[in-house]
Amino acid sequence: MVRNFIHFCSDSFKYSLSGKNLYHVWMGTLTFFMIVGAFFYSKQVTHGLVVTGMNDYVSWGLYISNFTFLVGLAAAAVMLVLPAYIFSDKDFHNIVLIGEGVAVGALLMCLAFVTADMGGPERAWHLLPGIGYFNWPESMLAWDVLVLNGYLALNLFVPMYILFQRWQGKTPNKKVYLPFVFLSIFWAFGIHLVTAFLYAGLPARPFWNNALLGPRFLASAFAGGPAFILLLLGVVKKFSNFKVDAQIKSKLALIITVAAQINLIMLGSEIFKEFYTPTEHSISAFYLFFGVGEHNALVPWIWTSITLNIIATVTLTIHKFRSNPKFLYPSCVILFIAIWIDKGMGLVIPGFIPSPLGEFVEYQPTLVEVAVSLGIWAFGLFVLSVLVRLGFAIEQGYLRKNQNSN
Amino acid sequence: MKLLITLLSLTFFSCNDHHHSSLKEKLHKLDQSMGGKGPVESEQILKDRLDDFSYQKSRWNKKNDFYVLERFDKFKIGKCQQCHDSSKKIPNSASNHKEVSLLHANKEVMNCKTCHNTKDTWNLHMLNNEKVSINHPYKLCSQCHFEQVEDWSHGAHGKRVGGWHGKRVIKNCTSCHNPHKPQFHNQMPKVTPNFLKYKR
Amino acid sequence: MRNFISNLFKHNKKTSSSQCPVFSQDKTTTRVDEEKGAKQILDKKQNRRSFLKGMTATAGAGASLMAVGASNLIDKDAKEKAALKWEEFFKGNYRVMTEDEKKATVKRLEELSRINNNQNVSISADAPLEGVLFGYAFNISKCQGYGDCIEACIEENNLDRKSNMQYIKMFEMDHGKLNVESGDAAYFHQVPKDDKFYIGTQCMHCENPPCVPVCPTGATWKEKDGIVVVDYDWCIGCRYCEAACPYWARRFNWAEPEVPKEKENKNQHYLGNRKKMKGVMEKCTFCVQRTRKGQEPACVEACPTGARVFGNILDPNSEIRYIIENKKVFRLKEELGTEPKFWYYMD
C-alpha cells in the first residue's frame, strides 16, 4: 500500500507540473510573487519587524488582518461539505473536494501569515507540548494553534484518502472518511469561533470585546468563502474541460446571499450599539467610520466596504440578478473584496486605534509587508491551483493509476 | 460535539477561581496567616547603602520606628557659630542674612523670628517656644502642615532612602523643601517622550 | 544525554586537532554521564527536549565536529560561543526550570556577554523573597512631570536608545478629568505648567493580569512576589500580550535593541534588565534586579518630589500599606477586574 501511495504522490506531482501554457504562465506569475515575497521576508528576518509599519501602538497589522480573513475562507469549506453530506445533495458531492482544497490552501496561508508576523519564528517549537510549554487551555492562541492544525489535518486526510482510492479505481469506503467529515463540519465552526474569541476575549479592547464578534465572523466567512468558491468554479469551467453542474451555482449563490444578508444585519446591530448611545468605548468605532480629529485614514476603506457589501447583497437578493452570471460573478467579486476589507482593515486595525491609554497612532503597511502578504497569497493560490486541478482530474477520471495523465 | 466542547471548556475556565478573589481578601488571608507580622529580616541587605547617610531616630510616630536624615552638616552658607558665638557681639539689624529671602507664608503669618531664635541659633523653636533641633524640623513644620507631616511620618509624603526593606530612613522636610522658599522649581522634562515621534 | 553533548563540546576544546573527539570519548566519562542521565529520566520534559537536541546533534554534530576537530583555524572563542548559543537555544521555559538549570543559563548568558560585547555583567536569578507582595503608589498631587523617573528607568533597565523605548508614560492632564485618555503624552516644555497636573503609567503588575493567560507559550507569568515577568528567551514574539494589556504597558523589540556599552547597567537579572534581542516582549519589572535585593525601583529612587512610593503590601507597617488603607486611592480601569498593584492617590 505504501508503494501505491508513493506512486500516487509522484503521479500527482507529475500531473501538477504539466498543463496548458496558460497554466504555466499562471503558476509562473505566482512563483514570481512568492520569490519577491521571500526576498522581502529575508529583510524582515535580518532587521526585525521594524521594517513593517507596526509599532507598540498598532502591534498587529496586515499579516494578522489577512490571517483573520483567511481563517474564515478556510471555514467556508464547510458550506460545501454540509449540503453534500448532511443533506446528501448529489450536486455538491462532486465539488466537495474543491472546498477542502480551498480550506487547505487558506490554512497554509494562515500558518504562513502567523509565521511571518512572529518576532521569533525559529522559536515556534516552544509551542510544542512536551518539549515546549503549550499554554492550553488558558490561551486562546493555543486553542487556535490546536484547532487550525487539526482542521488542516482533517482537510488533508479526507481528500487524500478519497483521491487515493479513486486514483486506484476503487470506491472510497464511507466508514473510513465519513466520521472525519462530520467532525470537520463542527470543527469548521470551531476554528472561526476560536479565532473570533481571540479578539472578543480581550477586555482591554472594547471594540472587539463584544458577544457578536463570533457570530459576525461566521456570517462573513460563509458569505465571502462560498463567493470565492463560486468564482473558482467559474474559473474552472472557463479554463478547463472539467464538468461542473449548473445546479451548484444557484445553490451556492443562495448560500452566499443568505449569509451576506445575515452579515449585514449583524453590521447594523454593531453600528446601532456603537452610535446610538456612544460611550468612551465607542471611540474606536468613531475612528473607523468617521475619523477622530485629523485621524481618518480608515474612513474611505470602511465606507467602500459597506457600499460594496450592500450593493452585492441587494443584487444577490434579487433572483433575476442572482441567476444571471453577468451579475452573479461581479457581485461575488465585490462581496469578497468588501468582506476582506471589513474583516482585515475594518476589524484588526481599529481595535488598536486609539491605544488603551487614548493615543492615536495610525497604521500604514510598508512595502515589506505588502510584498510578503502578496507572496503568501501567491503561495496559497499556488497550492490551491495544484489541489483543485488534481482533485478534478482524479474525480472525473482523467488521472488514474497506471495511466498517462492528461 | 460542539456542545461537548463548550461544556468542557467551561469546566476549564471555571477552575481559575483564584483569578477572581480580590486583592483585599488575599491581603487579609496572608496577614492572618503571618500573625500580623512583617517579612522576615533575612539579611542586612541594605547595610552598605545606608552607611552613606547619617541619620537619627525620630520619635514622632509612636507605632513604627523610623529615622530621619541629618540636616546639620548640609548647610551651605556656613556654620552658625562662625558669627553666632557668645563671645562676639552682633548688631541686631534687619539687614543681616539679606541673602535669605523668605517666600514661605505671607508677612502677617511668618517672619524670621517665627522659627529662629537669635539667642539660640543652634536650634529652632515652636510656637510655645519649645526648642526644636535642626535635625528634626518636622516638629516645627507640623504646627501648620500637620496633615503633610502626619502623611510623611507614615510614608504617604516624602522620600525614603536606602530601599523598601530594612531600616526605614526617610528624608527630612528640609532635605527637599527649602524652608525659606519651599516651592518646587520649573524645568524641562528629562527625556523627550516616546509618543512625540507619532504626533503630527 | 544533555551532559554527554555538552561534554562533547568541552572535550573539543581540550583535545588536539588531529584527534576526533567523538570516537575518543573516555569510557568512564560516558558511564558516569549515563548514570546522571538515568537520574534525569524522572524529569520528563528535560528528556524530551534533550532527545530532540540529541537527534539533531547526532546528525549535525557528527559531521561538523569532525570538521571542527580537524581544523585548528577556528577561534576558540567562536567554538565556545557556538556551544553556548546551542545550549541557550534548546533550553526550556525559565518558569519550569530547576535551580541548577537557572544557575546554568545565567552563567551562559554572562559568558556570552563577555564573548560578544567584551562586557562583564552579573546576571542574578534571585528568587522572590518570602512573604513579599510588591505594591506601588503614585501621588498625583506631587508629580510635576519632571521625568526623572523615565530617565532613571531607561538607564537602569538598559532600554533601547534607538527607538527611545520608555516603560513609563507621563500624561499632562487638564483639570476636570482623571481619565488618562484625555491627557497629552507628547508634552515637552517647562514643567509643571500652571493649569495642568501629571499622571504616570507603567506596568501595573496586576494580580489578575490579562496578559498572562493569553501567552501561547507561557513566556509571561506572575511571580510569587507579584511581579509580572517575561522570559525573553522563551517569548516567540506573537504580541498577543501587547494586545491584551489594558494599560499599554508592554513593549516589543521591533529591532535589535541598542545600548551604548559604557552606559550598560551591569547589575542584571534574568527576568529584568538583561540584554534583550529583537522579536521579544519586555516591560517594567518593578526593577526586579533591585527590588529582590531590598532596593527601591529606579523610578521611585529618582523621583525628586517623592511622588512614587514602593513597598511590600503584606507588611502591615509598610508605607504602601498605610497609603492604601488611609489615603483615598484609586486604580486605573478598576472595572476590568485586573486588580493592578499600582495605586494613585492625591493629597
Compute the half-sphere exposure of residue B125: CA atoms within 13 Å on the CB side of its CA.
14
Size of interface A-B (CB pairs under 8 A): 16
pLDDT tens column, C309-337: 999 999 998 999 999 999 999 999 999 99
A86 reaches B (C-beta below 8 A): no
Contact by Cβ (8 Å): B194, C165: yes
Q: Is residue A400 part of a domain?
A: no
C90 reaches B (C-beta below 8 A): no
Q: Which residue has the higher pLDDT, C97 or A97?
A: C97
**Taking 80 as the threshold, does the pLDDT of residue A86 lie above it?**
no
Distance from CA of A369 to the nearest CA of C (A): 14
B3 reaches A (C-beta below 8 A): no
Beta-carbon separation of C191 and B156 below 8 A: no
Residues 15-54 of B with CB under 8 A from A: 16
Q: Is residue A177 part of a domain?
A: yes
pLDDT of residue A351: 95
Beta-carbon separation of C219 and A126 below 8 A: yes
pLDDT of residue A254: 92
Cβ-based contacts of C280 with chain A (< 8 Å): 119-120
pLDDT of residue C180: 92
Using a pLDDT cut of 90, give the percent of chain B over it. 17
Q: Which residue has the higher pLDDT, C144 or A171?
A: C144
Beta-carbon separation of B176 and C207 below 8 A: no
Helices A62-75, A140-167: axis angle to 10 degrees equals: 50
Contact by Cβ (8 Å): A396, A71: no
In this structure, of B108-122, C87-101, C269-283, the range with the lowest mean pLDDT score is: B108-122
**Taking 60 as the threshold, does the pLDDT of residue C126 lie above it?**
yes
Nearest to C185 among A130, A141, A359 (CB): A359
Beta-carbon separation of A133 and C236 below 8 A: no
B164 reaches A (C-beta below 8 A): no
**Taking 90 as the threshold, does the pLDDT of residue A79 lie above it?**
no
Q: Identify the three-state secondary structure at position C253.
A: coil
Strand C228-230 versus strand C281-283 pairing type: unpaired
All three cell numbers of A342, joined, read 471589513
Cα angle vertex C346, ends C340, C347, to 5°? 145
**Taking 70 as the threshold, does the pLDDT of residue C57 lie above it?**
no
Distance CA B82, CA B100 (A): 17
C240 reaches A (C-beta below 8 A): yes
pLDDT tens column, C241-294: 999 999 999 999 999 999 999 999 999 999 999 999 999 999 999 999 999 988
Q: Identify the three-state secondary structure at position B58.
A: strand
pLDDT of residue C195: 92
Cβ-based contacts of C147 with chain B (< 8 Å): 189-191
**List of chains touching A (3+ CB pairs within 8 A):** B, C
Contact by Cβ (8 Å): C261, C177: no
A351 reaches B (C-beta below 8 A): no
Q: Identify the three-state secondary structure at position B25.
A: helix
pLDDT of residue B91: 62
Residue reference for cell 520528563: C44
Question: Span A59-73, mean pLDDT?
Answer: 95
pLDDT of residue A78: 83
Confidence of residue C43 (pLDDT cuts 50, 70, 90): very low
A116 reaches C (C-beta below 8 A): no
C48 reaches A (C-beta below 8 A): yes
**Taking 60 as the threshold, does the pLDDT of residue C69 lie above it?**
no
pLDDT tens column, C181-199: 999 999 999 999 999 999 9
Contact by Cβ (8 Å): C229, C316: no
In this structure, of A100-114, B22-36, C203-217, the range with the lowest mean pLDDT score is: B22-36
Cβ-based contacts of A131 with chain C (< 8 Å): 45, 48-49, 52
Confidence of residue A171 (pLDDT cuts 50, 70, 90): confident
Helices A299-317, A325-343: axis angle to 10 degrees equals: 150
Q: Which residue of B has its CA nearest to A359?
A: B195
Q: Rounded to an integer, what is the distance from CA A60 to the centroid of its chain?
A: 18
Size of interface A-C (CB pairs under 8 A): 159
Beta-carbon separation of A359 and B2 below 8 A: no
Complex ipTM value:
0.92
pLDDT of residue C3: 52
Q: Which residue has the higher pLDDT, B33 or A157?
A: A157
Nearest to A57 among B12, B13, B198 (CB): B198
A169 reaches C (C-beta below 8 A): no
pLDDT of residue B104: 87
Distance CA A129, CA A140 (A): 15
Using a pLDDT cut of 90, give the percent of chain C over it. 67
Confidence of residue B100 (pLDDT cuts 50, 70, 90): confident
> CB neighbours (10 Å) of residue C134?
25
Q: Is residue A344 part of a domain?
A: yes
Nearest Cα to B124, choosing from B110, B142, B136, B106? Answer: B136
Distance from CA of C190 to the nearest CA of B (A): 4
Using a pLDDT cut of 70, give the percent of chain B over it. 63
**Taking 90 as the threshold, does the pLDDT of residue A288 lie above it?**
yes
Buried b (16+ CB within 10 A) or exposed e, A211-244: eebbbbbbbbbbbbbbbbbbbbbbebeeebebeb
Residues 32-61 of A with CB under 8 A from C: 47-50, 52, 54-57, 59-60
B81 reaches A (C-beta below 8 A): no
Beta-carbon separation of B155 and C326 below 8 A: no
Question: Span A333-341, mean pLDDT?
Answer: 96
pLDDT tens column, C166-185: 999 999 999 999 999 999 99
Beta-carbon separation of B45 and C293 below 8 A: yes
Nearest Cα to B176, choosing from B199, B198, B145? Answer: B145
Confidence of residue B15 (pLDDT cuts 50, 70, 90): very low
pLDDT tens column, B77-96: 556 666 666 666 666 665 66
Residues 44-63 of C with CB under 8 A from B: none
Cβ-based contacts of B13 with chain A (< 8 Å): 137
**Taking 60 as the threshold, does the pLDDT of residue C137 lie above it?**
yes
Beta-carbon separation of C93 and A132 below 8 A: yes
Nearest Cα to A259, choosing from A225, A228, A211? Answer: A225
Q: Could you tell me the CATH number of the domain that includes residue A260?
A: 1.20.1630.10
All three cell numbers of C322, joined, read 498605610
Nearest to B1 among A55, A57, A186 (CB): A186
**Taking 90 as the threshold, does the pLDDT of residue A377 lie above it?**
yes
pLDDT tens column, A189-240: 999 999 999 999 999 999 999 999 999 999 999 999 999 999 999 998 888 8
Q: What is the DSSP letter of A298?
A: T
Contact by Cβ (8 Å): A73, A221: yes
Residues 38-57 of A with CB under 8 A from B: 55, 57
pLDDT of residue A374: 97
Q: Which residue of A has its CA nearest to C169?
A: A357
Residue reference for cell 513579599: C132
pLDDT of residue B141: 92
Nearest to C214 among A50, A60, A139 (CB): A139
Beta-carbon separation of A59 and C252 below 8 A: yes
Structural domains in chain C, CATH included, are 2-90 (no CATH), 128-347 (3.30.70.20)
Q: Quick one: which H or E segment has residue C269?
A: strand C267-269
Question: Span C41-68, mean pLDDT?
Answer: 58
Q: Which residue has the higher pLDDT, B95 or A67?
A: A67
Confidence of residue B148 (pLDDT cuts 50, 70, 90): very high
End-to-end C-alpha distance for chain A, whole angstroms: 24
Using a pLDDT cut of 70, give the percent of chain C over it. 79
pLDDT of residue A279: 92
Strands, DSSP E only, in B31-159? Answer: 55-58, 66-69, 123-125, 131-133
Question: Span B118-124, mean pLDDT?
Answer: 78
Distance from CA of B170 to the nearest CA of C (A): 11
Contact by Cβ (8 Å): A157, A183: no
Confidence of residue B46 (pLDDT cuts 50, 70, 90): low
A138 reaches B (C-beta below 8 A): yes
pLDDT of residue B26: 57
Nearest to A189 among B2, B13, B198 (CB): B2
Residues 103-162 of C with CB under 8 A from A: none
pLDDT of residue C58: 66
> CB neighbours (10 Å) of residue A334?
19
Residues 6+ apart with CB under 8 A from B120: B131
Distance from CA of B177 to the nearest CA of C (A): 9
pLDDT of residue A170: 86
Contact by Cβ (8 Å): C194, C233: no
pLDDT of residue B48: 65
Using a pLDDT cut of 90, give the percent of chain A over it. 67
Distance from CA of C216 to the nearest CA of A (A): 5
**Taking 50 as the threshold, does the pLDDT of residue A250 lie above it?**
yes
Distance from CA of B95 to the nearest CA of C (A): 33
Q: Which of B82-96, B97-111, C71-85, C158-172 has the highest mean pLDDT?
A: C158-172
Q: How far is CA B141 from CA A213, A401, B150, in A?
A: 60, 99, 11
Q: What are phi and psi of C228, to 5 degrees?
A: -90, 120
pLDDT of residue C311: 95
**DSSP per residue, C180-235:** GGGSBS---SSBS-TTEEEEEE-----SS-TTTTT-TT--EEE-TTS-EEE-TTT-
Q: Is residue A6 part of a domain?
A: no
Q: Write the burial class of residue A270 (CB in 10 Å: 0-12 exposed, 13-18 middle, 19+ buried).
A: middle
Size of interface B-C (CB pairs under 8 A): 158
Domain count, chain A: 1
All three cell numbers of A137, joined, read 487551555
Buried b (16+ CB within 10 A) or exposed e, A29-57: ebeebbeebeebbeebeeebbbbbbbbbb
The mean of the pLDDT values for chain C is 84
- Residue A233 belongs to what domain range? 25-121+133-395
**Taking 70 as the threshold, does the pLDDT of residue B24 lie above it?**
no
pLDDT of residue A8: 87
Distance CA B51, CA B162 (A): 9
